[in-house]
Each structure stands twice: as structure tokens, then as C-alpha cells.
Structure 1
Amino acid sequence: MIKNSLDKEKINRIDKSGLFTEYENWTNQAKNAIEIEPNLPKNQKFDNILFVGMGGSATSGDIIQSWLRDELKMPFEVLKDYKLPAYVGKTTLVIGASISGETQETISACIDAKTKRNATVVSISAGGKLQKISEKNNIPHTKVRMALVPRASLLYALLPSITLLKNLNVIKSPKKEHSDIIRLLDKQGKAINKNIPLETNTAKKFAKEVFEMASPPTIYSSQTLYAPGYRFKASLNENSKIRAQHILLPELCHNEIQSWGKNKDNKITSIVLRDENESQEQKARFESLNTLLIKMNIKPLEVHTEGKTQLGKIINLIYLLDYISLYLAILKKIDPTPTPHIDEVKNRLKKSF
């Protein structure tokens, strides 16, 4: 029975590495990360920002971009690659984030930005090669903690990055957002942790629905919730070990929806992320989307944001979605922590880096 599959004892037997414990500690992780004071660059004159990272570290850049897209007055881009865009130069602030400190793409981009483009570069990691190379090249480095795995250390990369932007006068003080984040994580953590039974646990119930649909999930969101949508796709890949895709609205209304059909091959698990403050245009699109899904005999599973600030809503939604991916792993009888395929590729590349 699925109910018994998600009880605390069963979870502890499958979660051999203890990843659930890391998520139970997210409120404390947020409190600790808020207190970190990042090292600042001497040159504080720039007119564009490039956030460099991969995987869970890049999520921090995605969150900042989603959060500030309607407020930030200068270009902000997230790079998930080795090669720098052509515009990067003297007036660019490059933030290189790699929780492990071993991410090749981030290290390479930071070195090139500093030595070849004369950009203003700062870095964030829990140590590793990124810290060593930063110190060697006079790049201001901020050392943070790392949880069991980088993807569970999200707040250690995100919140110091936000403090950095505040201290460089790019954004206003995030005190209101900090309070909202702590409140939301504390409330959410008490409601969806492994001790809470299926009947009253939103994350467990949602994971059960996804598991029973038995088809690769497709996540739909607006640009406003791009960060939680893409993060959920990645968490389903890494924690649940299942394929998933993330598609943005309204773009999907111009292509994706034509692929839907009633035949067996077109069946999908549709997960729709909704913002409580979405615009009338977004609301109309989502309602039309759901109507069409139902017409195609596809049940849309909706998840809604909660919070007083946009940043708080984004982080709280990610927290819920990450928990769903963990419970889905348990239902599949898979330890959510190990990522052997990713490790194999990284180990092969180490020999040439």
C-alpha cells in the first residue's frame, strides 16, 4: 500500500544517506546563510551582471532572475556553460557559484572573465578548486557551508548572493524577504516532513498522485515561476531518477499544446505551477490550458504559491516541490541521494581538466 510506503520507518530504510534530514534543516540553513557576509570586489562600477553556475548552484541565479525580473534596472543573465557571452568585459559583474567548488564550467568561466575580459569577478563555494583559483587570481571569494549534496545546499549559494547584491547597492535591503522565508520554511517544514502522515501531508499526497499517473511529468509555469519549474524538473531527475520536462507559458500555447492527444502515446502527467498574484493575462492562459487538458482526458495537477514576498513564495514553492521529488523516490524504492550517471561523467571529465 502507498500509505505504508511513505511512513517514517520505510523512508528511513530507503533514504540511507539521510537526505531527508538535510531538508528538515532548511529553516536553520536559511538563518545561517542570511548571516554570511560576502567578500566584495574593489571595483564596484558595472552595468550588467552574469551569474555563472551549474545544477543546484545555478538555481540561485535562476531564482534571482525570476524574483527581480520586474525590478532590476540592469541586465542580469545566468550562464550554464564554459563560454562567456561576447558582451562580458570591464563593466560586467561576474558571480561564480559552485557549492562543491569543483564545477569545471564555473571555474573556467570565472578564470576567463578575470584574465581575458578584465571583468569584476566574485566567487562563492564551500571550498574546492574554485576557492584556490580565486585566491590565486585575486578574486574575492566567499566560503559557505555545504549540506550532504550541493542541490540540498541551495540557500547557502542563494542568500549570500542576494546579500552581495544588496551590499553593492544593486538591490534594496531584503530584510522583509528574509523574514518571510524563515516564516514560510518553518511552517512548511512542520507540515510536510516525513513524520506527518499521508492524509495530512500535501507533499506526500502530491507525490502519490504523480506516482499513480505513471508517465513522465511535464511541468508548466509562467516566466515568473521559471526558477521553481526548472528546479522541480531537475529534482525529479536527480532525486526521483525520472525523466521530466519544463515548458513555459504562454509559449507552450503556440506549439506544445498541439502535441496533446487522447491516444496512449500522448498521455502526460501535467503539473501546473500557479502564482497567487499572476496577471489577468496569465490567469486567462492557465484557465484555457486547464480546460484543454481536461478535454484531452489529462488531469492537471496544480501547485500554488504562498507567501508575502515574491522571493519567499519562490523559495517556499521550491521547498515543497523538492520534498515531492523525495517522496516520489521513496515510492519508487530509490535512495534519492546517489547520482551515479552524473558522477561517472564528472569523473571522466576530471582527467582532461
Structure 2
Amino acid sequence: MVDDYTRQFREAWGRVEQADLAGIPMPDHVLILGTGGGSATAATLLRTYLYDRSEVPIEICQAYQPPAYLRRTTLVVAVSYSGNTQETLQAYEQAAASGVSAVVITAGGELAARARSYGHPVIHVPGGTPPRMAIGYLFMALLGVFHKLGLAGNTGVELAEQLGELYAVLAEGARRWGTAMPVTDNEAKQLALALRGHIPVVYGLNPNTGAVAERWKRQFGENAKVMAFANLLPDAHHDEAVGWEMERELFGRFFFILLTDDQAPRVLQQRVAATVEVLRERAGGVRVVQARGRGRLARLFSLVHLGDYVSLYLALLRGIDPTPVPMIEHFKAVLSRS
């Protein structure tokens, strides 16, 4: 799947271009409903991409109910790959009943049926993929909604150029980090080997790469079946960094990955360098990973793509099939009995 991200991203954009959103009024803010490694991750990546582009506030709701500020000038975008996510269904039902404008992104399920009953437009994405690996479908559908409604803060020409670079960077990533590339020249395989026996801690820059750090953490959990943690810089320097003083025999289990971007403000790059200097004295390992590309879309997803490969290789090193998620299914079974 990761080898074929370019096709997934292209296909998703083609689908959203055909969507009819003419009846959606201009909102004064947007609330995205969605949870998990596919929907919520796509939403946080979109918010990062539009951080200094969109003048409309974007909030993300992963709860069973929408926030109290919901009003008729709100645009709700409900995202659930399966269409059966409990939290999203309940929040959408409450939001739709209040009379807000809404758009639904899904591969089907109950969410699509409810959207049709309310007369809300549905952007259908192809099913049959683990939701976390449908990131291209979900992100591009979200981006397309914002672009069609004039909320993406860029022209069609500018966005087309960024998409072209994104596709090229994804194709290059598949070549650089795919299974055919040997360990000696494969950053993803090297990092997976370094992580073996450690607990990953992923730091992203706020706002440049923070959403990607969260993506890496989620992928380590679902694909490699290992606990992982994520935080933001400079935020972590104000509290979490004090925990770096814990017993060295414990702290040595942690392997820190810093997702950086040379287009980030100089003060953030200085903080990365200082973080590396301090952690190398104590942690089990430290690695700085640099974004690739010129435009923000390419840079964001170059890091997403690499992280997906790393988590899959780590799963293989642990002798684990990355696809099934038995603990999630077990938890759902326990929850259904309560």
C-alpha cells in the first residue's frame, strides 16, 4: 500500500473534483468530525497545511458529541472511512439535527446512509483498505472540500503545482524506502533497525511537523504493535523535558525521533539542535529526520511516507503482521459487553 500512495492521492483528487458542493454556504468556521489513524490524522494534517493559509478557524472533534458553539454558520465535515465509527456517527447525528451545513467523506456504511437522509453531499472514497493506510483518500478529499469552497487559501494554479510535486515526492519515497532498496541505502530500514528494543518518542515542530509526529506514534501502535509517544517542540521544553532526568537505566529505553523542516523558523531549528545535544547524553538513541521537497504538501507527506515505512519494517523485524489490529477488536468486544 505504501508503495502505491501516488496512485491513491491522484485517484482521491479526481473523485473530489467531481463532487457537487454548490449548495454549501460560506462558513465562518469548520468543525471536522473524525477519529483514529485515518480520519483524525487526515484532519490534523490538513489543519497543519492550512495553518497560515485559511482565514477560517478549523476545529477537530473526536468526541461523541459536537461542542456547544455549533451554529448554522458552522460547516461540519464528517469523516469516517468505514462509515461506522461510533463517535463520528453520534456527533454527526447531533450536528445534522441542529440544521448545520455538512459534507460527509466515507467509503460507505451507516454514515453514508444518514447523510443521504439529511440531503448532505457525500464524497465516496474506495473501500477495502485499513483506514490508517487510506490517508491519501481521506486527506485529499478533505483538501478538495476546502479548495472547492474557497477555504484553502491558494489558487488553482498554485495548488496544481504543489500536487504535482507531492506526487513526485511520493513516487521518489517509494523508490528510496521500498523493499527493493537495500539497508545500506534505505533510511526507513536503518531507522527500524535502530528502534528495535526501544520505545519510540517522536517530536514534531509546532506547527510545522507536529501532526506528522502524531501520525508516526499512531502507526507504531497499529502497524508495529509497540507503545510510542509524541509531543511538540517547543511545548515539551516547558514540562516533559524535566522527565529526561529519570533514572538512566529507564530513560535508555527511549529512542527519540525529531521530525524537522529546514523551512521552519530559525528559533525552532535551534531548539532541535539543543534537544539533540541534551538527549544524546542520556537517551537510548536520537535521530533527526528532515522533510523533503519545496512545497508544504510535499514536505508534510515526505515525512508521513517515511514514518509509514519505518513502522511496517519495525513490525517485520518483530515478526508481526502489521495489518490486523487484534487489540482494537478485543477492546470492541469487551466494550460491547459493558
User: How far off its partner does 1:346 sit?
Assistant: 3.1
Question: 2:232 aligned with 1:251, yes or no?
Answer: no
Q: Relative contact order (C-alpha < 8 Å, sep 6+): which is higher?
A: 1
Cα distance in 1 for residues equivalent to 2:129 and 2:189: 22
TM value normalised by structure 1:
0.89
Q: How far apart in 1 are the matches of 2:20 and 2:329?
A: 31
Tell me which of 24, 28, 47 is aligned to 2:3.
Answer: 24
Distance in 1, Cα, partners of 2:198 & 2:224: 13
**Is the 8 Å Cα contact of residues 248 and 282 (structure 2) preserved in structure 1?**
no
- Is the partner of 1:136 in helix, strand or coil? helix
Is 1:191 aligned to 2:191, yes or no? no
Q: Following TM superposition, by how much is the alpha carbon of 1:289 offset from its aligned partner in structure 2, in angstroms?
A: 0.9
Shift of 1:347: 4.4
Matched, 1:217 2:177: no
Shift of 1:311: 1.4
Q: Could you tell me which residue of structure 2 aligns to residue 80 of structure 1?
A: 62
Whole-Å Cα distance in 2 between the matches of residues 330 and 299 of structure 1? 20
Instruction: Name which of structure 1's ranges 74-83 and 290-299 shifts more when overlaid on structure 2.
Output: 290-299
Give the structure 1 partner of residue 316 of structure 2: 330
1:284 deviation in Å? 1.4
CA contact (8 A) 2:259 2:303 kept: no
Query: CA offsets per residue over residues 175-211 of structure 1, 9 Å max, x none?
Result: 1221111000111101111122211111111111111
Deviation at 1:51, TM superposition (A): 1.1
Equivalenced residue count is: 328
Mapped to 1, the partners of 2:283 and 2:314 lie a distance apart of 23
Distance 1:327 1:69 in 2: 32
Tell me which amino acid in the other structure corresponds to 2:186: N
**SS of the residue 1:290 aligns to:** helix
Distance (whole Å) between structure 2 residues aligned to residue 144 and residue 336 of structure 1: 23
How far residue 70 of structure 1 moved from its aligned partner, in angstroms, is 1.5
Q: Contact 1:210–1:217 (CA<8 Å) still a contact in 2? A: yes
Structure 2 counterparts to residues 266-281 of structure 1, below 5 A: 266-267=251-252, 268-281=254-267
- How far apart are residue 77 of structure 1 and its match? 1.0
Q: Give the alignment of 1:1-353 within 5 angstroms.
A: 22-37=1-16, 38-40=19-21, 42-55=23-36, 56-116=38-98, 118-171=99-152, 172=154, 173=156, 174-211=159-196, 214-223=197-206, 224-261=208-245, 263-267=248-252, 268-296=254-282, 298-347=284-333, 349=335
What is the TM-score of this pair, normalised by structure 2? Answer: 0.93
SS in 2 for 1:295: coil
Query: What is the deviation of 1:298?
Result: 4.6
1:153 Cα deviation (Å)?
0.7
Q: How many Å separate the matches in 2 of 1:346 and 1:133?
A: 23
Counterpart amino acid of residue 266 in structure 1: F
Paired residue type of 1:105: E
1:345/1:40 CA distance change after superposition, 3 Å: farther
After superposition, what is the alpha-carbon deviation per residue over 1:114-141, rounded to whole angstroms, capped at 9, x for unaligned?
A: 103x211110101111111111121211
**RMSD across aligned positions (CA):** 1.6
Distance 1:244 1:336 in 2: 15
Specify the code of the residue in structure 1 equivalent to 2:202. I
Do the aligned partners of 1:39 and 1:142 also contact (CA within 8 Å) in 2?
no
Change (3 A) 1:248 1:297: closer
Tell me the CA shift for residue 348 of structure 1.
5.0
Query: Cα deviation per residue 1:291-333 (whole Å; 9 max; x = unaligned)?
Result: 1112325531111100121111111210110010000000000
- Segment drifting more, 30-39 vs 236-245: 30-39
Is 1:41–1:120's contact at 8 Å kept on the other side of the alignment? Answer: no
Return the offset for 1:105.
Answer: 0.9
Mapped to 1, the partners of 2:283 and 2:126 lie a distance apart of 46
- What secondary structure is seen at the aligned counterpart in 2 of 1:273? strand
Structure-2 separation of matches of 1:159 and 1:66: 14
How far, CA to CA, are the matches of 2:299 and 2:336 in structure 1?
38
Q: Give the drift of 1:53.
A: 0.7
Q: Is the 8 A contact 2:251 2:282 kept in 1?
A: no
Task: Name the amino acid aligned to 1:30.
Answer: F
Answer whether contact 1:34 1:178 (CA < 8 A) is retained.
no
Secondary structure, aligned partner of 1:195: coil
